């Protein structure tokens, strides 16, 4: 009886041609599709919000068996496709396709990084050789403060007032913070 079942499964599945290996593969596929079927039925009843135990007990097993059969059939066909894919002529095309996809991804990545580098080179403004780094930083700060809003000066030290974010929210504080601690609410 057991040999007949193994032969029947091997005729239905026929992935490798070896009846024992086909039976083992079918058993693994059956376990996977059975667990997926149980999970899907539980998800379906949770999604619909139907918790009537009579409906669930009558419908669960029918839906589970149907899902089990469909999933097992699909997974066997996928396994047969992979077997067909891994024999030499198709295997060569598979390897060539994978290499081609990798090359395309690398070219796209290089082009994107090149355009990002070009964009950052255009946006970076290097200071002239006549200015020192401190002078260029100060002039840059003055330009940004001027462009942000009207210039407000600190009443204590005549430094610029800038927008800041602290522990208790946004506020306006002096740009000479360590020396001058003037601040007010925004």
pLDDT for the residue 118: 59
Q: Which of 174, 80, 175 is nearest to 183 (CA)?
A: 174
The 10 Å Cβ neighbour count of residue 67 is: 19
- Single out the residue in 57, 85, 113 at which a domain terminates: 85
Tell whether 80 is covered by a domain: yes
Report how many domains make up the chain: 2
Instruction: Answer whether residue 170 shows pLDDT above 70.
Output: yes
Whether the predicted pLDDT of 102 surpasses 90: yes
60 inside domain: yes
Over residues 90-108, mean pLDDT: 91
Mean pLDDT of 69-81: 88
Tens of pLDDT, residue by residue over 34-63, are: 888 888 887 887 787 776 767 667 777 788
Characterize 104-142 residue by residue with b for buried, 16 or more Cβ atoms within 10 angstroms of its Cβ, and e for exposed.
eeeeeeeeeeeeeeeeeeeeeeeeeeeeeeeeeeeeeee
**Domain containing 153: what range?**
134-185
- Model pLDDT, residue 99: 93
- 175 domain-assigned: yes
Determine contact, residues 144/136, Cβ cutoff 8 Å: no
CA 154 to chain centre: 48
> 117-146, pLDDT tens digit by residue?
655 555 555 555 554 555 555 555 555 555
Those residues whose C-beta lies under 8 Å from the C-beta of residue 153, and which sit 6 or more positions away, are: 159, 160, 161
In the predicted model, is pLDDT for residue 93 greater than 80? yes
Among 61, 85, 109, where does a domain finish?
A: 85
Flag whether 25 is in a domain: yes
**Model confidence band, residue 104 (pLDDT cutoffs 50, 70, 90):** very high
pLDDT (0 to 100) of residue 136: 56
Domain membership flag for residue 12: yes
Q: Residue 67: CB partners within 8 Å, gap ≥ 6? A: 33, 36, 37, 40, 41
Q: Place 30 in a pLDDT band, splitting at 50, 70 and 90.
A: confident
Contact 159, 178 (CB under 8 A): no
In-domain check, residue 128: no
**pLDDT surpasses 80 at 78:** yes
Q: How much is the mean pLDDT over the chain?
A: 78
Which pLDDT does position 101 carry in this prediction?
Answer: 96
Residue 152 CB neighbours (<10 A): 12
């Amino acid at each position: 009886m057991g040999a007949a079942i193994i032969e029947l499964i091997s005729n239905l599945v026929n992935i490798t041609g070896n009846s024992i290996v086909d039976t083992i593969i079918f058993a693994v596929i059956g376990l996977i599709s059975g667990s997926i079927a149980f999970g899907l039925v539980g998800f379906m009843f949770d999604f619909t919000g139907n918790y009537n135990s009579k409906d669930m007990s009558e419908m669960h097993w029918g839906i589970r068996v149907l899902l089990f059969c469909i999933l097992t059939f699909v997974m066997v066909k996928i396994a047969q496709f992979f077997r067909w894919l891994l024999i030499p002529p198709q295997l060569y095309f598979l390897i060539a396709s994978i290499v081609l996809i990798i090359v395309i991804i690398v070219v796209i990545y290089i082009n994107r990084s090149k355009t990002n580098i070009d964009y950052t080179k255009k946006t970076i403004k290097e200071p002239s050789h006549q200015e020192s780094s401190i002078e260029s930083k100060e002039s840059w700060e003055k330009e940004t403060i001027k462009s942000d809003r009207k210039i407000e000066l600190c009443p204590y030290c005549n430094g610029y007032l800038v927008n800041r974010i602290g522990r208790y929210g946004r506020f306006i504080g002096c740009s000479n913070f360590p020396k001058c601690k003037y601040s007010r609410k925004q």
